[in-house]
């Protein structure tokens, strides 16, 4: 019997295998543990959570809350396990790690259409397959993917800058311009000498995230975190990411003392990243510093900067919104390898990759969720984001179209939640997959 191959037994691979099996498609799920362990994992169980026991905040005002609701409607195994293994965590969905992974391992191991194989995969599989190997993809498979698709494949660690929501930027303070009169593709936040001095001092004093042992790394010079640049001297940022040369403020006709540039990250222009501001600072520190920048005093951060061990694809160059590779029909990617951050996001892309591999198995074309849904917005971002300096993404409201009309932020988020969930429910119902709630 021909089986679809799923490589990787994390949340993405487990959800992909479950989705395939639910749709009546036989699947062979490869997980290299325990024959070959990773620096982060402690057990051989599938879907082992290694960094956090949270699947994100709940409720209709929360972006991850919408993705959770969508996954429940889709019949997600990860959400089923989360319900069984839930522990109190305020407004977040948190789980008992051992109970969570044990539940998923048992459900998959007992399914008659799922064969779990404990071996490392060192080559890109032939035939229908899903690559879901996570942030610690083995060196052999990483090299095989690089050889197959070229240097669009990114590895080692994730050096990401914070991303802010466009509607929260003060456009009266920031100005559009490119250096030396080039295309005005950037938003520029000008700083006076005194504003720069205060920002620089605050950056020196900010508290950093302490990495896990397996996350520790040597910096590439092109990816040095902004706090490390600051430690190299007062002038370093002025000759680096905050260089004002060639940028004239149209209101003064002069170059600012320093400038923070923002670059459009998505096709719709709803999300903008701070250019050159990759950072390993703790998230509250990032928020405090960003809101010290003129024009970003009320900035809503939809993705914080990170510096950690990661392995992922440059999704806009390689993947379609269905998560199928552009250059190889029948090969899909899911999870962190596909360019998402977070356990919930990994599971959600596993569901979509499993659904579309099953459709290919049946001779049908792959599909993508509606853009109003959080999963639809996430996979469209992967397929259409700016490939230059592409950064992995997690669920946030900048991924979906805003609702029309003036309303408070909470009210707007709840309207987006209900609109997105309705659209997703109609979509999965049209596919015959709507689960009872």
2-23 tens-digit pLDDT:
999 999 999 999 999 999 999 9
Confidence category of residue 40, pLDDT binned at 50, 70, 90: low
User: Do residues 324 and 356 make contact, with C-beta atoms less than 8 angstroms apart?
Assistant: yes
Distance CA 397, CA 404 (A): 14
Cα distances from 205 to residues 189, 192, 228, 233, 243, in angstroms, run 22, 20, 12, 14, 21
420: tokens are: 């997105």
User: Do residues 44 and 79 make contact, with C-beta atoms less than 8 angstroms apart?
Assistant: no
Query: How many of the other CB atoms lie within 10 Å of CB of 321?
Result: 20
Least confident of 40-49, 264-273, 288-297: 40-49
Rg over CA atoms, the chain: 22
Higher per-residue pLDDT: 322 or 309: 322
Query: How many of the other CB atoms lie within 10 Å of CB of 365?
Result: 9
3-state DSSP assignment of residue 198? helix
Least confident of 35-39, 213-217, 379-383, 403-407: 213-217
Mean pLDDT for all residues in the chain: 92
Distance CA 402, CA 338 (A): 25
DSSP H helices in 47-156: 63-73, 77-84, 97-110, 139-149
DSSP letters for 317-338: HHB-TTSBBTTSTTEEE-GGGG
Distance CA 183, CA 159 (A): 26
**C-alpha dihedral (299, 304, 305, 309), degrees to nearest 10:** -170
Q: Is the pTM of this model over 0.75?
A: yes
| In the predicted structure, residue 175 carries a pLDDT above the cut 90 | yes
Confidence category of residue 185, pLDDT binned at 50, 70, 90: confident
What's the pLDDT score for residue 213? Answer: 60
- Over the stretch 372-393, which tens digit does the pLDDT of each residue have? 999 999 999 999 999 987 888 9
Cα distances from 207 to residues 220, 273, 277, 298, in angstroms, run 21, 21, 15, 21
């Amino acid at each position: 019997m021909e089986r679809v191959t799923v490589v990787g037994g994390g949340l993405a691979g487990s959800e992909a295998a479950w989705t395939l099996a639910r749709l009546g498609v036989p699947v062979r799920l490869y997980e290299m543990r325990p024959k070959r362990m990773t620096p982060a994992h402690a057990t051989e169980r599938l879907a082992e959570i290694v960094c956090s026991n949270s699947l994100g905040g709940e409720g209709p005002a929360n972006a991850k809350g919408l993705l959770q609701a969508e996954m429940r409607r889709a019949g997600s195994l990860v959400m089923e396990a989360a319900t069984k293994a839930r522990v109190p965590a305020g407004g977040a969905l948190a789980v008992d790690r051992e109970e969570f992974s044990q539940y998923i391992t048992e459900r998959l191991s007992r399914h008659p259409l799922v064969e779990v194989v404990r071996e490392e995969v060192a080559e890109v599989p032939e035939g229908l397959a899903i690559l879901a190997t996570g942030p610690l993809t083995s060196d052999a498979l990483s090299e095989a993917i690089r050889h197959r698709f070229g240097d669009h494949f990114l590895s080692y660690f994730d050096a990401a800058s914070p991303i802010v929501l466009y509607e929260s930027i003060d456009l009266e303070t920031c100005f559009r311009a490119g250096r030396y009169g080039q295309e005005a593709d950037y938003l520029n936040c000008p700083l006076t000498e005194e504003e720069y001095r205060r920002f620089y001092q605050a950056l020196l004093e900010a508290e950093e995230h302490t990495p896990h042992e397996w996350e520790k790394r040597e910096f590439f010079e092109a990816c040095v975190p902004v706090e490390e640049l600051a430690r190299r001297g007062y002038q370093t940022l002025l000759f680096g990411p905050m260089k004002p040369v060639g940028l004239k403020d149209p209101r003064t006709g002069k170059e600012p003392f320093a400038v923070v540039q923002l670059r459009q990250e998505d096709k719709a222009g709803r999300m903008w990243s701070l250019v050159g501001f990759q950072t390993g600072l703790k998230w509250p520190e990032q928020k405090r510093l960003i809101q010290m920048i003129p024009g970003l005093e009320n900035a809503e951060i939809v993705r914080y900067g990170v510096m950690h061990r990661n392995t992922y694809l440059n999704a806009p160059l390689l993947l379609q919104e269905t998560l199928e590779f552009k250059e190889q029909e029948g090969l899909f990617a899911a999870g962190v390898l596909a360019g998402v951050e977070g356990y919930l996001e990994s599971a959600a892309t596993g569901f979509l990759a499993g659904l579309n591999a099953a459709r290919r198995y049946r001779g049908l074309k792959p599909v993508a969720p509606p853009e109003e849904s959080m999963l639809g917005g996430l996979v469209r971002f992967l397929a259409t984001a700016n490939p230059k300096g592409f950064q992995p993404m997690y669920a946030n409201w900048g991924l979906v179209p805003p609702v029309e009309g003036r309303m408070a932020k909470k009210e707007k988020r709840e309207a987006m939640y209900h609109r997105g969930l309705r659209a997703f429910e109609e979509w999965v119902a049209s596919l015959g997959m709507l689960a009872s709630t």
